[in-house]
Structure 1
Amino acid sequence: MAAVPLHSRHRLLRLGAFLALLALAAVQLRIALPEQAEYSDAGAAAAMLDALRSPFLLTWHGKQLHQLQGQTEAAEGLYRRALVHNPLYLPAWLGLAELDNDRGRTAEATAILRHVDSLAAGINRWRWDKALLAYQLGDSDILSQDLAWIIAEIPAQRDNALKLAFGLWPEPAALLAQVGQANVVHLFSHAARTGRTEAALAWWPEIEQLGVDNHRPEVLAFLTSLINHERLTDAAPIWRRYFNGATLLTNGDFAREPGNTAFDWRISAPKGSSWRIEAAGDGKGQAMRLHFSGTNNLGFRHLSQIVPLESGHRYRLTAQVKSEGLTTDQRPYLEVAGFQCPMAPVRSEIVAVSQPWTDLTLPFEVPPDCRAVQVRVRRDRSNHLDNLIAGDLWLRQLTITKTGEIHATPVVEAQ
């Protein structure tokens, strides 16, 4: 008997596998069609609902009927059955109240809301839903109590509660009265983060009494907000009193990491650069090291500090600078520019390719209409072919000193 060719055997195997898969698909289709018909049948769905005893499922289906299909009578029946199985199930009570409110039965909805309020005393869960219902019904007593509770006790829902509270009572004193003195820090922090500087300033005396050291992150966010909203005259005295009263420029010896906020150093590392604070190498404290990898033609201005100063005075910026292996015709330099005011930038010479620790002095004047300057390390982009900057720059012992007035009155000697 002649042997079956190899390619014919492969063809027979593929045909057999295809027929087996076809038979399996037919079986699955035969099983699925009756199941689909059963679940799609309205009578079967109604029977399923009639058999439900779970308050959770009854309430869930009630919400679907009410909110998605508008079947208020059927929804009410499911809510009431849920309460038969569990008279303390708050979502079912809330569903009934929403249903009555939608029907225009405000008195009945309010009565249910107050019943829920008595049941929910001291309970976090569903507190936000109850607050929203109180808002819809105009029940300010329950609403203010719930918002105060949420702000104080439920961090996951705090922002939503704060947004609603600020919208309802925009005047700071009224808002504090509604949500309570215990929430003043949360109110202050939210106002600072959302740019409501007048409200934050109104609550600032409360924060001072509670202790700035106890709320440093909130106060720093507040100062940053004031700076961003051009309230330097409000921000600077607070900074001087609680954060840096000894020197004009903050952390010029890099004794700690940059704070990236308020009047502290702000730093980032764009592609092609990195930074770190390290020992200066000669036993004289610490230094900021900026490293350039030689992969990018950077326009660098990513190390800076806003410094509040007196207008109409002369100052001097001093620093010590070291470099090693800096490349390109455009190397880093220091710059002092006006912050939120029209002051022409003053810049130092560019740093040498390589140099030991070298003193740098940069005199500048603060015009009469300026309240602050920005000190920053800069590097301009190069137009040369070899424009990828590489090498290292170190800075330490940065200080600003007042040297006199711009228009000082001449001293007349007595005759």
Structure 2
Amino acid sequence: MTLQERDKKHLWHPLTQHKVYPDALAIVKATGALLFDDQGREYIDGIASWYTAVYGHCNPYILEKVAAQMQQLDQIVFAGFTHEPAIKLSEELIKILPDTHEKIFFSDNGSTANEVGIKMALQYHFNKGEKRNTIIAFEDGFHGDTFGAMSASGLSVYNGPFEDFFIDVQRIPTPDIDTIEIVLERLQRIIRDYNVAAFIYEPLVQGANAMHMFEAEYLNEILKICSANNIVTIADEVMTGFGKTGKNFASEYIETKPDIISMSKALTAGFVPMAVTSCTQDIYNAFLDDSVGKAFFHAHTYSANPIACSVAIAGIELLKSAEIQNNIQRIIQSHKDFDAKIKSHSKIKTTRQKGVIYALDLDIEMDRYGKKRYEIFDHFMEHGVCLRPLGKTIYILPPYVITEEQLDKIYESIVALLEVV
């Protein structure tokens, strides 16, 4: 039996209607920016495998660090125990996080990182004797698939069957030059009418919302009002973190820093699952008490797994290296050059870029997960390029080690699409 045939016997894939799309492509090897299927075909990974493998697949430097750690300590419960990789990782993260952040809490994935952040915010007020039970979030944001994260997410295509069970969330639009005053007025009305505990947001780029981008100065106005009203601010940097916007974190572009930051995906470079939620000393202090009940009772079996921590440490070392920083700037410039050539094409409605993230909207009507979307996906795969359209939005978020030749092939596949779409 082929891998595809064996797959269909028992596996249930995410974001997939198996009755309509029953086949999954079998990938057997990956290196650098390349994926190889079971038929020997190669594909350029234009999205770093959902924004994770930013230093390239099977990066030899990370492999070396992981191999050493596996022979030293594989796993230890993190409740009541600690270890060097977790301590070292916390030290390295604090160096690149905003200066206000002092504490690191471990979990398993991006959704749970946001879940932790939401629970921290709610309990922060509870521990202080304040009843605050409402969360503010952007319209059409996405924060994950666990219940708190789902509650904060505005994309109903993911959440429809579960909305009756959500926590209370009030939504505001993402601001721009034309709407900022309306957004701020709505924000202040929500603060007046509800007991608001937290504001959760994706800074500058909403990934699942078709790479929607907005400006730092307008987000800063929202954050200033939240801070003035003791509303805990949670920056969801699961997608944007670790260099993708051109800085270590998108929050660096914004004057007012968040109280909590959630991170995952590129944190462990596509090797193993792990997530981190960081916070300020003020948030942490609200949980310090003689009463055990005021402790933060949230735990994951594999919290701060030593192997995952060793991967993350190696990833940060690579991120800070001159080679990777130069590569990031090279990709940013390549995207700009491509955009200058293509943005006026008759089949393109809009284009946008933040750091290594480049997106364009096709000037056609189509469903987010309809037949046309899969035809476009197949077009790219036939050209040896792995891109996952978000409806009519085509985006590139490549590994930082991608070559100019590989980038050019991605650009060429997009140009070819415009001729047939």
TM-score normalised to structure 2 length: 0.20
TM-score normalised to structure 1 length: 0.20
Hey, which of these two has a bigger chunk of helix by percent? 1
Kindly indicate whether structure 1 or structure 2 has the higher relative contact order, using CA contacts under 8 Å at least 6 residues apart: 2
